[in-house]
Every structure is written in structure tokens, then in C-alpha cells.
Chain A
Amino acid sequence: MQRIGVFVCWCGTNIAATVDVAKVAETLKSEPGVVFATDYQYMCSASGQEIIKNAIKEHNLTGVVICSCSPRMHEATFRKTVQAAGINPYMLEIANIREQCSWIHKDKEEATEKAIILGRAAIAKVHLNAPLTSMESPVVKRALVIGGGIAGIQTALDIADAGFEVDIVEKQPTIGGKMAQLDKTFPTLDCAACILTPKMVDAGSNDKVNLYTYCEVDKVEGFVGNFKVTIKQKPRYVDATKCTGCGECTTKCPSRKNPNEFNMGFDNRGAVYIPFAQAVPKVATIDPDDCIYMKTGKCGLCAKVCTAGAINYEQKEEFITKEYGAIVVATGYNQIKPTEFEEYGYNNYKDVVTSLEFERLMNAAGPTGGHLLRPSNGKEPKKIVFVQCVGSRGQSCRDKSYCSKICCMYTAKHAMLVKDHYPDVDVTVFYIDVRTPGKNFDEFYRRAVEEFGVHYIKGMVGKVEEEDGVLKVQASDLLANAQIHMDADMVVLAAAIEPDKSARPLATMLTASMDTNDFFTEAHAKLRPVESPTAGIFLSGTCQGPKDIPETVSQASACAAKVIGLLAKDHLLCNPCVAHSNETLCNGCSTCANVCPYGAITYEDRLVMDKGVRETRRIAVVNEAVCQGCGACTVTCPSGAMDLKGFANRQIMAEVDAICR
């Protein structure tokens, strides 16, 4: 018989206001096996933990039940507490009477009754708990970063700085991501390229950093400390080791009518191309859909002009398999194409552009050499209208429910830059709210209004139509309670941002969870913001939620710190709640091995003593370092030989009984 102690936490008033904690402790005291029960204001505090430790020693407890917040919150804390008092950390169960009881119920009697039942279930389970010991598994001291934007680069450089090897997988031919496309960055207005390209060069030349560009993650196996990842190298049709990046082929390529993705399709590139001058690695890539030789078998001009002999039309995709201790997700975002918002006329009028497109039109390295010109006729615009919150903060099917966070600031930046370069251009911004929380952000926005004379109008644009080459904008001015009609030469839409499309299949591969918007979920919204709930998977940048550059970089570095913390360990303690098979019941049928997602089950011929008969049988054996404890095998086992430590059949059954009593 176990000697169980019950500790009921008030959690200040969080629990005590709706649950009669004294009554819970009193009632649970009469449960079989319970030798001690008490309540206290904050069980997780130092003095609360002291109460637990003292009670364990004083009453010679063998099991502990804590009625408090969710085990997802403080299970680890309390395990350490009971361990410090000399009992096995797995002799502890937590009854969740905060999230599942006091916070959701108002009636005190009802909540108290439920808390007692939840406590009983935990007591029933502890009766059947057994001490468990964790195995150790080694850590592969190398990290993988998926995505080579500013987030991925920063994380990789920080990890490399600590002396660990790190690989970056980037699906584009170059690293740099979205930041490489930007012109200036708020709120300081330094040029994006000037601050990003040195980091790209660092990443490219650092001994510890390995770039896998034009690659995608194909398969992920294993678990924290021991991931095995297969990377698919897409064929560039150019030998990256031979290519010098001279660019001769890109200028000679006769296939010229391919929209240049880097410039948002405002100009064209050859079928063989280097995305931009500062690309890292600076290696040409042939797009097989555009290449005349690939399509017709005639041309081969690039191969003729390449003095390095790097062109190889026969290149095939390759698969590289490597092992990693940690994986960082830095897949970033894309700006939506506002094609569903027909009222803005994005589909019909060339002069209606998204802000990322506008960014290229303002960029000195862009299609117009930094000279702002209307895409329709190449003339200078005199009136520009900016529209914020296009596709953000809505509830209808075409909107994102969240605020894209960066639009207010980059719109202020665009407006300011336009006024700075062309003071006679009339700039109007339509906004719902201007959101500027950030260091020097509001000052920046006010400067746009006060110093640069940008017109901010509270209201939305309802219609954009073109007449004689002029955009007619119909909008509301809520403060004046008026509808206004104005002419514009360009309309810039601050379209919402969304996670990259590759994120969803990647999350499935990594078994990392996502929210309904396809942003990766963090392990704890406040306290563990850069870790995924899946051990060994870390989050960097906008894959976790909308962020500007300063925030992205700080999150990237935070993420690196967490990865370094993991890689610095030689061994990790495994989860001891793993499956094991009862050798006298196992009939060696292999059903369990078929359902195991980790391949943790093998078979051995073993000498078994069963009811006085000694014979050699084929028995399932679980590799405890590989088993993750999902329990699929336990349910599938036809002879009931498989069970899961910590969540045994009898334990869950006892919980069911306690609840249904």
C-alpha cells in the first residue's frame, strides 16, 4: 500500500476563489492510502515546495498528489521537488484543478465537487505508479536551420559562434530571404542590403556554417538530439563547385521573357540567372521551364560561353542524409496577392501594387534603378494613395484574422521616403488604426505626418477605378463623416502576410504543431516562445507569427541560445514513460512493430519461464532510447503484453473508475 500525501494549491485566488480548497484537502484525506493532506497559498513557491518536502520526510510518503494548475505548467517543477525529498519523480501525479476547474466554473459547490473527483482520479493513479528511471541518449552536435532569411542566418551565425556546426537549407538559389528585397528598414532607415549582405557573406564564409541552397527538406526521422534528415538538392544544371559567378551566361542567355521573381515580375531575367548581385552563393541556376535547350534540345549558348565549364544539363536531383541534434524552423512569410479584393482593382490596373512590389520600385537595385515610376506608363506619379489592413484583421473568408503587425510601420516608411525623394508628390494613407508599439516607432510615424506632411485619413478605401489613366479612389473619412473621391497615380496595398506554403508539410514532417493560420505554435506563449512543443524543434522569425526585423533578429538569437543549450549537453535524459512488453504474454506476432512510428520494437529469441515451463520464444523488445511513449503498440497488442510505463492500462482504468464512482 502506498503512503500518499495530497497537496492542494490555492494559486492565490485563482483556485481558492471558486474551489473550497480546505474541503478538497479534508475530503481527499479520507481516500484509501492518503496519510497526509493540506492546502497552501502557492505550492510552487519555495515555501510551498518546502511543505511538500517536509511532509514526504515526516510522513514517510511514497506517492504525492498535487492539486494545482495544469501539469503542462509545473509538473517538471514538482518532480524536482519530490526527487529532492528522496522519492522517485515519477511517483507524482497532478490533478489539474485550475485550467480544468476553477477557471472555467463559477459555482463554488460544483467546482469543489469536481476538484475532489479530479483529486480522486490522481490518487487512484498514484496507487499504481512505479518508480521510473530515465535512460540517456547521446546528442549529435550539429544543428539544422530550415530557411535562409535573416532569421535563419542570424540563428545559424549565433550557433556557429558557440562552436557548433550548423547547416542552412534554403529552397531558393540564394540565402537572404525577404529582407534582401527590401529597400530601407524602419525606424532608422538604414538600407536593408547594407546590413543584410555582410551577414550573408559571413554565413557563406563561416567554417562552421554549411549552406544547402536550392534544397528542400525531404524527410525527417528520429527525435531530439538524434534527428536524421534527408535533404533534396534540386538540380541547378550548373556545377556549383565550378561556377565562378561571373554572370557571362546570364547576359548571353537568349531566353529573356521570364518574369524576374526577385523584382516581383517588374522586369525579366534569362533562363539562367543569378537572383541578385549580392547572392550567396553567387552561382548561376538554370530554370528548366524557361531554358530553350531543355525544352527543344537546341541552343546550349550558356555552355559555350562558360569558361569554367560549369553548365551541366544532365544534372539530377540528389539526396543528402545527415544527422542533427536540433532543428530550427525559419521558414518565414509571404505577402498575399490581393487578387480576391476586387474593389482595389489589383487584378486590373498596373498602378495598383502591393507594398513588397512598391519596395522593389523604390529600390536602387530594382527594375527602375530606384526611380519611382508608374508601372503602367513609366511616368513619375504625382499622387500616391496607401491602403492599410488589406486582408488583415478580418473575419470574412478572404481575410486573415490577425494583424500583420509590420504594415503600419512600413507604410509610414514608404510614405516618408516618397516625400523625401519627391517632395511635391501628394501622399495619402488610409488607416483603421495606426499601431506603432516599438522603440522609436511612434516618433517615426509622427515624423511622417508632422515633418513630411503625409496625409493620414482614418477610413478605408471602398473602390478604385481607372479613368483615362488616372485611378479614381473612393474612400471614407470617418473623422469628417464624409465620403471622399480623389485621384491617384498609384495605389499601394499593405496586403497581409501569411506563413510560407512550405510550412504546413514541414510541420507534418517535424510533428510540430501549428495554429489555424499555419503559424508554428510555441511551447509556451510567454515563457517558451522560441521552442516548439516538440522537443528539439525550435522556432525562429515569422514562421511563429508576424514580426518586424528587430523582433525577428532578437527571436533568432534567442532561438540560437536555446539550441546551443541543447547541443552543449553530451547526453539527454529520455522520457522514461516508454512501452515495454511482458515476456510471458508476448506471442511474437509483430503487430506492435508494424504500428510503431519510430521502429523502436525489435524481436529477440529469449528463454522464458512461463508457469514452470522453460522455453525459447520470440519476444518483442522495446528500445527505450528510441521509444517516444505514444502507446500505439499497447492498444494494438492482441495478447495484452505491451503496456506503457506511466500510462499503464491499470492506471488509466483506475482513473476511469475514480471519475465514474
Chain B
Amino acid sequence: MQVEEKKEFTPLIVAFCCNWCSYAGADLAGSNRLNYPANVKIIRVPCSCRVNPLFILRAFQRGADGVIMCGCHPGDCHYTTGNYYARRRMTTLFSMLDYLGIEKERTRVEWVSAAEGVKFAATMKDFAETIQKLGENRKLRDLRCEK
């Protein structure tokens, strides 16, 4: 029997950030030189309510190990109510994903304001560590995409 050599696992994390709060928070983390893992990749959306559950499913399908969605704090949404819709949608989606076998820890919703650079970096660091511990995600993965 052949023993496969184990490569060190670096998780792939997709972060959806709303333009007005969290993306600005990420920018602030950047200008304050607050380090967080490089495997976190940010996608900018106008508002957290723009995040279609399909995007998250697509990310898992294409090989993401964790997906985090960040928006303005409840009550502070630039579009008044967008993050409330997002929160409901994600609660439903995440419980469905949990049912499908994608652990609850692999998905997260965080509220990060434009002034919370420190929180942004800390959140991303913590999330990346959590995913690192959970290991690779195989569920939902489209095997045809793999090389």
C-alpha cells in the first residue's frame, strides 16, 4: 500500500464584504498594517444583502473551505435594512448547509464597521484558524473541477 505524502493544508477562505462597512474595515486593517492570513480572499459587494446563497454554494463547490460574510452592524446598514435580509437568508442557508454536512463553523456572518480594522483582522485570523483545525472541506465539492 502506498502512503501518500501529506501536503500541509492551507484552507481557502472566501469573504464577502459590503462596500460601506466591512470592505472599508478591511481597508483600515490594511492601512494599519494588521496582518491576517493570506488565504482569505475578499469579494466586494454593494451590501451584504447582495450575497446570493448561490455564491456561497458555488464557493464550496469550487473548493472553498470556509465562507464568511461581513456587513454593517445591525441598524447601521447603508441601505437601511439590507443586513437584516442578509442575516435571515444566511441563518436559513447555514442551517441547510449544516444539514448537508458542511459544519456550522465553516460558515460565518460577522458585522464589521468601517472603523473596526482591528476587529476585521482579528475575525479573519480567528476564522482562518477555525477552518485550519476543521481541515479540508469535501462536501458539495464539484470533483470535475479538480485537476
Q: Is the CB of B62 within 8 A of A656?
A: yes
Question: Digit string of A524-555 for contact with B (CB within 8 Å is 1, else 0)?
Answer: 00000000011000000000000000000000
* Chain A residues within 8 Å of B70, by CB: none
* Chain B residues within 8 Å of A104, by CB: 29-30, 33-36, 121
Q: Which of B47-55, B96-104, B128-136 contacts A (4 or more CB under 8 A)?
A: B47-55
- Bound-state Cα–Cα, A495 to B112, Å: 30
Q: Is the CB of B72 within 8 A of A513?
A: yes
A94-146 interface with B by 8 A CB criterion: 96, 98-101, 103-107, 110-111, 113-114, 117-118, 121
- Bound-state Cα–Cα, A99 to B42, Å: 11
B46 to chain A minimum Cβ distance, whole angstroms, is 5
Of A99, A106, A635, A649, the residue contacting B35 (CB under 8 A) is A106
B113 within 8 A of A: yes
Q: Is the CB of A114 within 8 A of B38?
A: yes
* Chain A residues within 8 Å of B51, by CB: 635
B106 to chain A minimum Cβ distance, whole angstroms, is 14
Contacts A104-B35, A597-B80 given; does A630 touch B47 at CB 8 Å: yes
Contacts A117-B41, A515-B113 given; does A634 touch B50 at CB 8 Å: yes
* Chain A residues within 8 Å of B113, by CB: 513-516, 521
Q: Is the CB of B43 within 8 A of A70?
A: no
B43 to chain A minimum Cβ distance, whole angstroms, is 5
A-B interface pairs (CB < 8 A), number: 158
Q: Is the CB of B21 within 8 A of A513?
A: yes
* Chain B residues within 8 Å of A106, by CB: 35
Contacts A72-B24, A99-B27, A660-B64 given; does A635 touch B38 at CB 8 Å: no
A11-57 interface with B by 8 A CB criterion: none
Most buried by A among B53, B78, B80: B80
Q: Is the CB of A516 within 8 A of B53?
A: no
A647-661 interface with B by 8 A CB criterion: 647, 649, 652-653, 655-657, 659-661
Q: Is the CB of B43 within 8 A of A121?
A: yes
Q: Is the CB of B59 within 8 A of A577?
A: no
Which A-chain residue is minimally distant from B47 (CB atoms)?
A630
* Chain A residues within 8 Å of B42, by CB: 96, 100
- Bound-state Cα–Cα, A534 to B77, Å: 11
Q: Is the CB of B79 within 8 A of A70?
A: no
Contacts A533-B114, A652-B43 given; does A513 touch B62 at CB 8 Å: no
Q: Is the CB of A103 within 8 A of B30?
A: yes
Q: Is the CB of A653 within 8 A of B58?
A: yes
Q: Is the CB of A515 within 8 A of B62?
A: no
Q: Is the CB of B36 within 8 A of A635?
A: no
Question: Digit string of A626-659 for contact with B (CB within 8 Å is 1, else 0)?
Answer: 0011111011100000001001010011011101
A595 within 8 A of B: yes
Of B31, B44, B47, the residue contacting A632 (CB under 8 A) is B47
Contacts A630-B47, A660-B64 given; does A514 touch B24 at CB 8 Å: no
Question: Digit string of A610-638 for contact with B (CB within 8 Å is 1, else 0)?
Answer: 00000000000000000011111011100
Q: Is the CB of B76 within 8 A of A100?
A: no
A43-97 interface with B by 8 A CB criterion: 70-73, 96
- Bound-state Cα–Cα, A521 to B20, Å: 11
B82 to chain A minimum Cβ distance, whole angstroms, is 5
B81 within 8 A of A: yes
B74-89 interface with A by 8 A CB criterion: 75-82, 85, 89
A582 within 8 A of B: no
Which B-chain residue is minimally distant from A631 (CB atoms)?
B50
Q: Is the CB of A100 within 8 A of B82?
A: no
* Chain B residues within 8 Å of A449, by CB: none
Of A516, A597, A653, the residue contacting B115 (CB under 8 A) is A516
Q: Is the CB of A113 within 8 A of B52?
A: no
B110 within 8 A of A: no
B68 within 8 A of A: no
Q: Is the CB of B82 within 8 A of A630?
A: yes
Q: Is the CB of B20 within 8 A of A533?
A: yes
Report which A residues bind B (CB closer than 8 A). Answer: 70-73, 96, 98-101, 103-107, 110-111, 113-114, 117-118, 121, 507-508, 511, 513-516, 521, 533-534, 577, 595, 597, 628-632, 634-636, 644, 647, 649, 652-653, 655-657, 659-661
Known: A533-B24, A631-B46. 17 other contacts (CB 8 A): A101-B38, A103-B30, A104-B34, A106-B35, A107-B38, A111-B38, A508-B76, A631-B82, A632-B82, A634-B52, A647-B46, A652-B43, A655-B43, A656-B14, A656-B55, A659-B14, A659-B64
